Amino acid sequence: MSLVQRQATLREMHAGRQRYTRLLEDKVAELEAQSLDAGQNGSFARQTSPQSSLARGERPEHHPHSVPTPNTPGIIPPSFQLNEGLSGVENRTAERFAVPTCADSNIPFSSPLDATMSNTSLDIDDRCGHSSLFVNILAALTTGNPCGIPITSDEPLRDVRISTAAPSGLLKRTFCLSDDIGDALIDIYLQRVNPRYPFLHVDTFIGWYKSWKNIRFKDPTADQKDRWMDFFVVMVQAVSILLTPQVSQSSICTSQTLYNMAMKFLPFIFIKSDPILSVQAYLLLTLHALHSPSSHMIVSMVSATMRHCAINQLHLAENEPKVPFPSFSLEVQIRRRVFWSAYALDRLISWIYHIPNNLIDEHITVEMFSNVEDTHLYLDTTEMDQDVAASLPQRTRISPALHLIRCRCIQSRIVSTMMRSDFSKINSSPAWREHMLEELEAWRTQLQRLSHRTSRGYLSDRWVGMAYNYTILLLHQPTKQNVCGMFGDRSVRASVQIMLTFREFQKDRQTAQLWPGLLSQFNVGLTFLYCFWATPVQYRTSAYKTREASEALRACSISLAILAERWVQAEPLRDVFEILAKEIPLKETIHDDSFPRPMAPESVAQINSQIDWIRSVVKNRGVLRMLEEMITEEFPSSHVEQTERRTIESTLAHDTGEHLCPEHCSLFPGTVFHNPITSAGDIPGEYNAAFDDTLIFPALFGSVEF
């Protein structure tokens, strides 16, 4: 073949690739539009069609004042400023996210958007805009040619341009916040979220934000090298808007618009091929997903985040950069913070849904991040002064994250042990449970010495108590076989404290509204009622007979009702709990409980009409088992065999203070309890011991938000 023929062939191949690229770009844009339209139309049809709702066992929903109007997603001028008002934008009412607000309420912390968005509404998707299809398409395309951005091995990123054939409208900002509001939202995130999940280095992120403010109004077809910063800034703002205890409908709509806008810039992060940057993006998506009424989306995002950590080997110590004084290395510490933030979120979801951890503790060798302020992390640690390093104060803003992760480690071990195929053999001995109780007691004792009991905020022992009691409940899941002993007694005590404390947080308006928070309250309330259902009267301990038990039941009912105002999807949980609360009496006499009796048929029918939906949302097998028993079986009889009575009395008399498990328990070798994560090892005196008693709470310890 001649040179001319080869050149002609190459030109033809190149032209063919260009045609294929344009067709692919057009198809992606078409699929995205169809998926959004289908989701909107489908969700509205589900909302307005009684037949489809009843087919799934849901109650028809009525919105007499909501009239949906057609809208094309993203039709907002690029120059639009939020503080100029949003009422002129075409919109459809966010029916499923309507939150009634009280005009005369004194909310101690409110969104900076409230003053400028009291009568506004933006486009919002049925499921808070989380589109797994969109995420998957973007992730797949970034390995090739996302959004028409040509990437070749010999072309530097600074020269990348948007192809003229690409749907460049996808990269135009639909609107931007005013500087005052944007600054306030960034500050909210850094003050309320970053201390607990410190995967963003404060100074680095502020630098991104300042750079972003300088380039935000540039033509989207101009230099693209810094467009990845759009995702981080806009997504942080989207998360911050949702942190208010009583987030308004307009704020939810604005957060959704920001989320959709940030997603358009996600491919630029993957293009950079920076594993840390990619996991940080996944973490922000996960934090936003926690506000979505979709268990599937939450579990999927957390799993994807942890899997991305594993793929990039962030859990392995041997793959860390080898630098002097790693406890003060910015590169090493951010790497560790990213992984352990993902770990904490993964363990939170594993505990709530009672599903296996995405990465087992035995496979983790990376150390915990050090208790060092962001300002004391350096790119180059070769010139570090040991004396200066050792004299740094230990009152840091990330101390809460270290304590939180220790609690998640304990919960992780409990969940992973209960998931083992030989758990029945392990559970036949009290050793493993006593081991966990000892770890939990040590954690609580340490924090109680440091907490401020008089504070109404997160700096209080209320949060410590909630985390402790959640773990007690996880460790003592009641069944009909064990509920009459220690398991039932401890479950009731823990449930009462959790329900009362959560309601106190709600009344003080100190908690954001998260879907996992709703599920945790439903699970706790149902466990509480199951203990009363399954325990004959004569075996109920003093925990069953306190006045607080009735108060806690009422508190849980109110909490679920309030959360159902945020999400229509939460109404079945609220209704099922109310039915169970009416059917299961808290106070009975032995005469009343003399004979077995089932639940009222009409109550069982009402619960069964929602049971499929409940299963798909709750997912926790233990909770679903208890619910199934209560609606299909009779109340346990008071007539207990004498052998059972002796067994129950022996379990009630069991002293858990006698710890049968040695310090280095053979059940848990090489796990997070006994691996080197608790010491840094590179500073004399173990300066950075992760869980040292000298760690002091900063102003924002703990949170029921995450």
Q: What is the pLDDT of residues 676-688, one digit of tens each?
A: 333 333 443 433 4
628 pLDDT above the threshold of 80: yes
CA-closest candidate to residue 504, choices 556, 575, 452: 556
pLDDT grade for 595, boundaries at 50, 70 and 90: low
Residue 565 forms part of a structural domain: yes
- Give the C-alpha separation, 504 to 331, whole Å: 41
Phi first, then psi, for residue 82 (nearest 5°) are: -60, -40
Q: Alpha helices of 82-219 — where are they, by DSSP H? A: 132-141, 179-192, 202-215
Residue 113 forms part of a structural domain: no
Residue 122 forms part of a structural domain: no
Tokens of 620: 């926790």
pLDDT digits (tens, 9 = 90+) for 223-238: 677 889 999 999 999 9
Residues of the chain with pLDDT > 70, as a percent, come to 59
Residue 50 forms part of a structural domain: no
Q: Are 618 and 355 in contact (CB under 8 A)?
A: no
CA-closest candidate to residue 99, choices 513, 504, 520: 513
pLDDT of residue 659: 41
Mean pLDDT of 567-594: 84
pLDDT of residue 257: 92
pLDDT of residue 56: 40
pLDDT grade for 18, boundaries at 50, 70 and 90: low
Cα first-last separation, the chain: 66
Phi first, then psi, for residue 378 (nearest 5°) are: -130, 150
Q: Give the least confident one: 90-99, 123-132, 304-313, 630-639.
A: 90-99
Mean pLDDT of 509-521: 84
Tokens of 203: 């100074």
Cα-based distances in Å from 76 to 72, 89, 172, 220, 662: 10, 7, 10, 15, 64
- Give the C-alpha separation, 485 to 650, whole Å: 8
Mean pLDDT of 395-399: 78
Mean pLDDT of 505-518: 81
Q: Are 253 and 99 in contact (CB under 8 A)?
A: no
482 pLDDT above the threshold of 70: yes
* Coil, strand or helix at 650: helix
pLDDT of residue 22: 63
Q: Write the DSSP symbol of residue 211.
A: H
Q: Are 333 and 370 in contact (CB under 8 A)?
A: yes
- Give the C-alpha separation, 250 to 256, whole Å: 10
Mean pLDDT of 490-496: 96
pLDDT grade for 24, boundaries at 50, 70 and 90: low
325 pLDDT above the threshold of 80: yes
475 pLDDT above the threshold of 90: yes
523 pLDDT above the threshold of 60: yes
Residue 573 forms part of a structural domain: yes
The total of structural domains in the chain comes to 1
Name residues whose C-beta falls within 8 Å of residue 189's C-beta, 6 or more positions apart in sequence: 236, 237, 239, 240, 243
Phi first, then psi, for residue 93 (nearest 5°) are: -65, 135
Is 172 buried (19+), middle (13-18) or exposed (0-12) by CB count in 10 A? middle
524 pLDDT above the threshold of 90: yes
Residue 605 forms part of a structural domain: yes
276 pLDDT above the threshold of 90: yes
Residue 571 forms part of a structural domain: yes
pLDDT of residue 694: 40
The residue whose two tokens read 């809208």 is 71
5 pLDDT above the threshold of 70: no
pLDDT digits (tens, 9 = 90+) for 631-661: 998 887 654 444 444 444 444 444 444 443 4
Cα-only R_g, the chain: 27
Q: Give the least confident one: 62-71, 88-97, 432-441.
A: 88-97
For residue 201, the one-letter residue type is H
Tokens of 354: 């009672």
Tokens of 700: 């924002």
Domain range spanning residue 546? 485-639
pLDDT of residue 175: 63
Phi first, then psi, for residue 371 (nearest 5°) are: -85, 70
pLDDT of residue 447: 77
Is 191 buried (19+), middle (13-18) or exposed (0-12) by CB count in 10 A? middle
648 versus 493: which is more confidently predicted? 493
Cα-based distances in Å from 312 to 305, 345, 481: 11, 18, 45
pLDDT of residue 118: 40
3-state secondary structure 303-348: HHHHHHHHHCCCCCHHHCCCCCCHHHEHHHHHHHHHHHHHHHHHHH
Name residues whose C-beta falls within 8 Å of residue 28's C-beta, 6 or more positions apart in sequence: 137, 141, 147, 167
Mean pLDDT of 27-41: 54
pLDDT digits (tens, 9 = 90+) for 451-469: 655 554 444 677 888 899 9
Q: Against a cut of 0.85, is the pTM above it?
A: no
Tokens of 235: 């997504």
- Give the C-alpha separation, 475 to 472, whole Å: 5
Name residues whose C-beta falls within 8 Å of residue 64's C-beta, 6 or more positions apart in sequence: none
64 pLDDT above the threshold of 60: no
Name residues whose C-beta falls within 8 Å of residue 291's C-beta, 6 or more positions apart in sequence: 128, 242, 255, 512, 513, 514, 515
Phi first, then psi, for residue 259 (nearest 5°) are: -60, -50
387 versus 322: which is more confidently predicted? 322
pLDDT grade for 581, boundaries at 50, 70 and 90: very high
CA-closest candidate to residue 677, choices 409, 478, 447, 452: 409
pLDDT of residue 76: 29
Q: Are 384 and 359 in contact (CB under 8 A)?
A: no
Tokens of 582: 């009416």
DSSP bridge pairs for 378: 329
Q: Are 535 and 487 in contact (CB under 8 A)?
A: no
Looking at every residue in the chain, the average pLDDT score rounds to 73
124 pLDDT above the threshold of 50: no
DSSP bridge pairs for 176: 81
Sign (positive or negative) of CA dihedral 279, 281, 285, 288: positive
615 pLDDT above the threshold of 90: yes
Torsion, CA 330, CA 332, CA 337, CA 342, rounded to 10:
140
CA-closest candidate to residue 171, choices 39, 32, 304, 41: 32
Mean pLDDT of 17-34: 60
What is the Cα 406 distance to its own chain's centre? Answer: 17
pLDDT grade for 428, boundaries at 50, 70 and 90: confident
CA-closest candidate to residue 252, choices 411, 363, 113, 437: 113
Residue 563 forms part of a structural domain: yes
pLDDT digits (tens, 9 = 90+) for 543-561: 999 999 999 999 999 999 9
Mean pLDDT of 656-671: 44
Q: Write the DSSP symbol of residue 59.
A: P
CA-closest candidate to residue 501, choices 472, 487, 521, 518: 521
Residues of the chain with pLDDT > 90, as a percent, come to 42
339 pLDDT above the threshold of 90: yes
